[in-house]
């Protein structure tokens, strides 16, 4: 018989090695004993799995210190019995259950997996950690595995065991700190969590699975057993997102507030596929960027405080719905970028915070482990298992769901140990500096691995500082991103445009300064969600002047932006000049499209995207000086700038002229690259966009041999008020 102390430990949920005592075991008298813990059961019988015959009824041990019955059953099998496959027949007060014994199965993780997990080099830890439905020894069930190296005991709990942590304690694989258990009969859709007894004996609030592939809809917090999505092979044709010479025009979307149902409910993945995808495609965008789709507890975080990095949020339906949405995007010719948040996570008790009772995923020292601005916890990038968890997650979204790129959030907060901290509130690195060397290594490694394993996938850095070489390869000392958001350009240009045109001459350098560093990185020009929240107002509302001038200013901004070197990003609502600041709790103001001025802005975005895609000079050489040439950068008195964009064909060029005042300028002379005709590609003042329809007759201008701006040839143009002109050189 099992020692009384071990029975008590089992019944109290304090036993750390259940496989040593539960299931079938021999004793020193060469007898076989069978033991099981079934709290609340009336009786337990052993069934021969091959014949179905009852072998023996187990006896219940009664422990006075535990109040008598605790549900521990055991019995010695008849002398000479050799090990055999068996099932347990459990008699409950409300019925009978027949099941295989979880403690009769072998280990789940292979020696190789153990080795790779222990050294933090398992590229795809999600293939083994988490909950995986399948078969072992012909028995259908689910394998559970979770990393909790400092725990005294870990149990799987769920509806299948009445959330009783005594019922299914797990086996510890000490080499890597992972607990594992195969539960027969548990399949897709079952709710589960982990009950963890910390090293100091505390039983923690139930924890969701860090590797859970699906989760309940908030406010519920359980993980759901879900089969790992099958890997999606990436078509070789889908690689425009990582090509520096491709047109990239990104429509950034918060799925919960793009459009809502009549009752205010979220659209599901199917409805989003049927509405959002054709809408973005019709407007000519090449990419959809989705604010984080990982599971998160609080709607107001917009997904930027995720707790289920491996689970698409249940707000829009099951995980396969997201997978189908991505497929539908690809069929429509749209690539999909998702915002990815490896910088920090919230402190909700069902999440990663002090996961096994101690700081596991986060730093123990709050000077390293707590975000001052957001009250969140910072991942410990120097811990190999955490490193593995995050690198694996980057691969997971690209390989298993087929997304085309990751926009990495809050990179600046990762790079600096003193980010948003005063002196004395941060810990220097080993060299005494402020750089977070572990985070730098992590970002480089993520980009290296994605480059090796997922050719064609792109990564985008939201990095707001002057950290050098963000978009250069790690081999050159860079971070390895394909693109970086140009936050400096965005702030300068929006600040310039908020000034009344009469004062813009004093701020002219804000238009031109970005070209001093435009080719130091591979930039995306972002007019993102961050610019239309927290009291900043909408883009249209920030423009000065009367009603007409506000729209003209916005159209001029878009014209300048689409001609400027760099890929493009526009947050939803900006494409039709939404007046109200973005509200994540409601829908966009779609009724505004009934008004010509708003519909005109939308028509402009459609044409800008078309011209951008069809004109190689506007996108082929975005990140080299050879793709850009100033004609007139210094006319601050008139608030006019003019420049050329060039593609690979040196004989072709596109001239862009922007007038940022409401004054029509007749006979304005602009230097030209050579003789020939200049055909108007786009005029943001067109009546089709809500403008005054001022322009050049028939949209054609001919170069004259009159020197201007240091050039032998020039054009005499009529510049529309608050507008941008695109002219294609034909010669």
Give the residue numbers marked as catalytic.
409, 462
- Phi/psi of residue 641, nearest 5 degrees: -130, 150
Secondary structure of residue 85 in the 3-state scheme? coil
Q: Which residue, 495, 381, 366, 537, is CA-closest to 446?
A: 381
Q: How far is C-alpha 643 from the chain's CA centre?
A: 36
> 3-state SS string over 136-183?
ECCEEEEEEEEECCCCCEEEEEEHHHCCCCCCCECEEECCCCEEEEEE
CB 63 within 8 A of CB 11: yes
Name the helix (H) or strand (E) containing 63.
strand 54-63
CB 693 within 8 A of CB 685: yes
Q: Which residue, 92, 172, 181, is CA-closest to 130?
A: 181
405 - beta bridge partners? 337, 458
- Phi/psi of residue 402, nearest 5 degrees: 75, 20
Q: Supply the Cα-derived Rg of the chain in whole angstroms.
A: 32
Secondary structure of residue 501 in the 3-state scheme? helix
CB 143 within 8 A of CB 136: yes
Question: In whole angstroms, what is the distance from residue 556 CA to residue 577 CA?
Answer: 13
Buried b (16+ CB within 10 A) or exposed e, 483-522: bbbbbebbebbbebbebebeebeebbebbbebbeebbebb
Helices 547-563, 596-614: crossing angle, 10 deg rounding? 10
Secondary structure of residue 153 in the 3-state scheme? strand
Question: In whole angstroms, what is the distance from residue 63 CA to residue 44 CA?
Answer: 18
Question: In whole angstroms, what is the distance from residue 14 CA to residue 169 CA?
Answer: 9
Helix, strand, coil distribution of the chain in percent, nearest 5: 30, 30, 45
Q: Regarding beta strands 523-527 and 567-571, do their DSSP bridges make them parallel or antiparallel, or are they unpaired? A: parallel
């Amino acid at each position: 018989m099992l020692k009384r102390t071990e029975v008590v430990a089992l019944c109290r949920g304090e036993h750390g090695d259940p496989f040593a005592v539960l299931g079938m075991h021999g004793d020193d008298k060469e007898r076989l004993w069978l033991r099981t813990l079934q709290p609340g059961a009336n009786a337990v019988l052993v069934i021969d799995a091959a014949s179905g015959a009852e072998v023996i009824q187990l006896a219940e041990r009664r422990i006075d210190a535990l109040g008598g019955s605790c549900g521990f059953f055991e019995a010695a099998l008849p002398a000479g019995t050799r090990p055999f496959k068996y099932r347990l027949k459990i008699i409950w007060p409300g019925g009978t259950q027949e099941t295989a014994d979880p403690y009769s199965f072998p280990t789940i993780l292979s020696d190789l997996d153990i080795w790779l997990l222990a050294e933090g080099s398992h590229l795809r830890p999600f293939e083994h950690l988490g909950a995986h439905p399948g078969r072992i020894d012909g028995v259908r069930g689910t394998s559970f595995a979770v990393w909790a190296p400092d725990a005294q005991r870990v149990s799987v709990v769920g509806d299948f065991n009445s959330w009783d942590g005594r019922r299914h304690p797990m086996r510890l694989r000490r080499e890597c700190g992972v607990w594992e258990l195969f539960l027969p009969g548990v399949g897709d859709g079952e709710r589960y969590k982990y009950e963890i007894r910390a090293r100091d004996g505390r039983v923690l609030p139930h924890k969701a699975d860090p590797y859970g592939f699906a989760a309940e809809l908030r406010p519920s917090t359980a993980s759901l057993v879900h089969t790992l999505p099958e890997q999606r092979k990436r078509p070789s044709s889908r690689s425009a997102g990582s090509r520096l010479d491709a047109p990239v025009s990104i429509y950034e979307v918060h799925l919960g507030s793009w459009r809502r149902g009549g009752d205010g409910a979220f659209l599901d993945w199917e409805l989003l596929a049927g509405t959002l995808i054709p809408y973005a495609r019709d407007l000519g965008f090449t990419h959809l960027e989705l604010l984080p789709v990982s599971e998160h507890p609080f709607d107001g975080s917009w997904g930027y405080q995720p707790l289920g990095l491996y689970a698409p949020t249940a707000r829009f339906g099951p995980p396969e719905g997201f997978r189908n949405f991505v497929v539908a995007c690809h069929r429509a010719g749209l690539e999909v970028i998702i915002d990815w948040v490896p910088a920090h996570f919230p402190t909700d008790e069902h999440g990663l915070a002090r996961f096994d009772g101690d700081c596991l995923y986060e730093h123990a020292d709050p000077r390293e482990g707590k975000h001052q601005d957001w009250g969140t916890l910072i991942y410990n990038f120097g811990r190999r298992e955490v490193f593995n968890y995050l690198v694996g997650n980057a691969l997971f979204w690209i390989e298993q769901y087929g997304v085309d790129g990751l926009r990495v959030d809050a990179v600046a907060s990762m790079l600096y140990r003193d980010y948003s901290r005063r002196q004395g509130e941060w810990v220097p690195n080993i060299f005494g500096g402020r750089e977070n060397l572990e985070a730098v290594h992590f970002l480089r490694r993520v980009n290296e691995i994605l480059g090796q394993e997922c050719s064609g996938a792109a990564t985008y850095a939201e990095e707001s500082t002057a950290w050098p070489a963000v978009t250069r390869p790690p081999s050159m000392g860079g971070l390895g991103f394909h693109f970086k958001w140009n936050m400096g350009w965005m702030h300068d240009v929006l600040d310039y445009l908020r000034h009344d045109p009469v004062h813009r001459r004093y701020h002219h350098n804000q238009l031109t300064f970005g070209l001093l560093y435009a080719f130091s990185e591979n930039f995306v020009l972002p007019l993102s969600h961050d610019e239309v929240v927290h009291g900043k107002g909408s883009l249209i509302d920030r423009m000065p002047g009367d009603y007409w001038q506000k729209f003209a200013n916005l159209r001029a901004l878009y014209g300048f932006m689409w001609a400027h070197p760099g890929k493009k990003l526009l947050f939803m609502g900006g494409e039709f000049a939404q007046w109200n600041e973005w509200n994540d709790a409601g829908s966009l103001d779609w009724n505004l499209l009934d008004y010509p001025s708003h519909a005109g802005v939308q028509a402009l975005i459609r044409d800008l995207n078309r011209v951008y895609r069809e004109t190689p000079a506007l996108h082929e050489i975005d990140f080299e000086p050879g793709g850009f040439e100033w004609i007139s950068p210094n006319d601050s008195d008139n608030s006019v700038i003019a420049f050329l964009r060039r593609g690979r064909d040196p004989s072709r060029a596109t001239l862009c002229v922007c007038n940022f005042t409401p004054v029509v300028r007749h006979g304005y002379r602009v230097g030209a690259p050579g003789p020939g005709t200049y055909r108007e590609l786009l005029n943001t003042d067109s009546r089709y966009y809500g403008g005054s329809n001022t322009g050049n007759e028939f949209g054609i201008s001919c170069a004259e041999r009159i020197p201007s701006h240091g050039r032998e040839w020039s054009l005499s143009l009529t510049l529309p008020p608050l507008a941008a002109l695109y002219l294609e050189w034909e010669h």
